Amino acid sequence: MPAELQEGFRLLREYKTTPIATGEVFNTIWDAHELIRNQWIDYIRMSIVHAGGFTHLKKVADFAALYHVRTGCHGATDMSPVTMAAALHLGVAIHNFGIQEHMPHSAETDQLFPHTYYFDSGYMYPGDAPGLGVDIDETLASTYPYQRAYLPINRKLDGTLTDW
| Average pLDDT of span 20-36 | 93
Q: Can you give the pLDDT at residue 4? A: 83
Average pLDDT over residues 21-40: 94
Q: What pLDDT sits at residue 2?
A: 84
pLDDT of residue 164: 67
What's the chain's average pLDDT? 92
- Residue 151: burial class (beta carbons within 10 Å; 0-12, 13-18, 19+): exposed
Cα dihedral sign, 81-86-87-93 = positive
| CA-wise closest residue to 48 among 95, 4, 6, 101 | 101
Per DSSP, helices labelled H in the chain are 6-15, 29-37, 53-66, 81-93, 107-112, 138-141
The per-residue pLDDT for 5 is 87
- Label residue 160 by pLDDT band (50, 70, 90): confident
What pLDDT score was predicted for residue 93? 94
Going by their DSSP bridges, the two strands 118-120 and 123-125 should be labelled as: antiparallel
Give the number of other CB atoms < 10 A from CB of residue 37. 13
pLDDT at 155 over 90: no
User: What is the per-residue pLDDT across 65-123, written as a single tens digit (0 to 9) for each?
Assistant: 999 999 999 888 888 999 999 999 999 999 999 999 999 999 999 999 999 999 999 99
Q: Where are the domains of the chain?
A: 6-141
List Cβ neighbours of 82 (8 Å cut-off, separation of 6 or more). 113, 132, 134
pTM: 0.85
Q: Which CATH number, 3.40.50.620, 3.20.10.10, 3.20.20.120, 3.40.50.300, labels domain 6-141? A: 3.20.20.120
1-22 pLDDT, tens per residue? 888 889 999 999 999 899 999 9
With 80 as the cut, is the pLDDT of residue 151 above it? no
